[in-house]
Amino acid sequence: MEAMLKILGERKRCEIVRLVWSEELPAAEIAARFPDVTRSAISQHLGVLRNSGLLTERRDGVRRLYSANQAEMGKLREFLDSFWSQSLVRLRDLAESAEQAKERK
Amino acid sequence: MEAMLKILGERKRCEIVRLVWSEELPAAEIAARFPDVTRSAISQHLGVLRNSGLLTERRDGVRRLYSANQAEMGKLREFLDSFWSQSLVRLRDLAESAEQAKERK
DNA sequence: CATTTACGTTAGTACATCCTTATGTAAGAT
DNA sequence: ATCTTACATAAGGATGTACTAACGTAAATG
């Protein structure tokens, strides 16, 4: 899961995911949004994102259409949420053991 | 914001934040949870986390007690949420312009 | 079949990151 | 005042990452 965080920790990759969040885009179009780097660089980022499951690829002839895998992104959100829920769980466990201690009296 | 993602993309740093999520811990205690690396390595991670605002430090004599900055983590969660809401915004904007087009008839 | 289009992949390089070891440094104990 | 404790910080090395330039490849087009 930390791997996904690291992958999105790169500005361009994060932007790419946002770009194809609600619409499929071909690699060329994605690359066009990043004029400061070569298409190769973007292709490599796409490879990383595809490999991690954050992007899905659909082939249409010679083109490759990318779109965000919202489900996979959802896992990341759950992971972040777990930071908050862990303390709740800990509180719950604490409350439970206190209850059991009381019953053992 | 991507910087924070990158920082948490490191396993140990992510674990450290989790460790001090609901309780303050001194640096030594944190380091003790990572027997495979030196205290120095952990101290450097603590520095990165403190610097990014993800951890807050409180000094108690010679010790330094760390705890997670949940507010800062909250920003990250909001950032992730923005991926979902951006499409909603786009849909809303689309609906609005459609409405305006109708009114102009 | 040759060419073009739209890509991915490889090789190589500059720079960043994570680590260890060594060296501060400030607070408390002797 | 010296020593110890609990840390940070600096220097240096191994490894990882993001990039460019060059090359490879499958699909469409003539």
So what's the pLDDT on residue A104? 47
Please tell me whether any atom of strand C lies within 7 Å of the Cβ of A62: yes
Residues whose CB is less than 8 angstroms from the CB of residue A9 and which lie 6 or more positions away in sequence, other chains included: B2, B3, B5, B6, B7, B8, B9
Percent of chain A with pLDDT over 70: 85
Has residue B13 been placed in a domain? yes
Mean pLDDT of chain B: 91
What are the mean pLDDT values of chain A's consecutive 10-residue runs (105 residues total)?
Answer: 97 98 97 98 98 98 97 97 85 66 50
Phi, psi (rounded to 5 degrees) for A56: -115, 145
Which of A2, A73, A83 comes nearest B73 by C-beta? A83
Supply the angle between the helices B70-103 and A11-19 in degrees, to the nearest 10: 30
* Domain coverage including residue B59: 2-74
Has residue B97 been placed in a domain? no
Task: List the single range of A4-8, B65-69, B90-94, B98-102 with lowest mean pLDDT.
Answer: B98-102
Q: List all nucleotides in chain D with at least one atom under 7 A from a protein Cβ.
A: 5-10, 17-22, 26-28
> How distant, in Å, are the alpha carbons of A25, A50, A64, A76 from that of A36?
19, 22, 22, 29
Local confidence band at B88 (pLDDT 50, 70, 90 cut-offs)? confident
> How far is Cα B88 from Cα B35, in angstroms, rounded to an integer?
46
Please tell me whether any atom of strand C lies within 7 Å of the Cβ of B82: no
Residue at A86: amino acid letter:
Q
Has residue B86 been placed in a domain? no
Nucleotide closest to residue A50 (CA–C1'): C8
Q: How far is the CA of A41 from the C1' of C13 (A)?
A: 14
Cβ–Cβ below 8 Å for A9 and B14: no
Q: How far is the CA of B62 from the C1' of C13 (A)?
A: 45
Cβ–Cβ below 8 Å for A8 and B5: yes
Nucleotide closest to residue A9 (CA–C1'): D17
- Chain A closest-CA separation from residue B105 CA (Å): 29
> What's the number of domains chain B is made of?
1
CATH number, residue A39: 1.10.10.10
So what's the pLDDT on residue A86? 86
Has residue B92 been placed in a domain? no
**What's the DSSP call for residue A92?**
H
Has residue B82 been placed in a domain? no
Q: How far is the CA of B41 from the C1' of C23 (A)?
A: 15
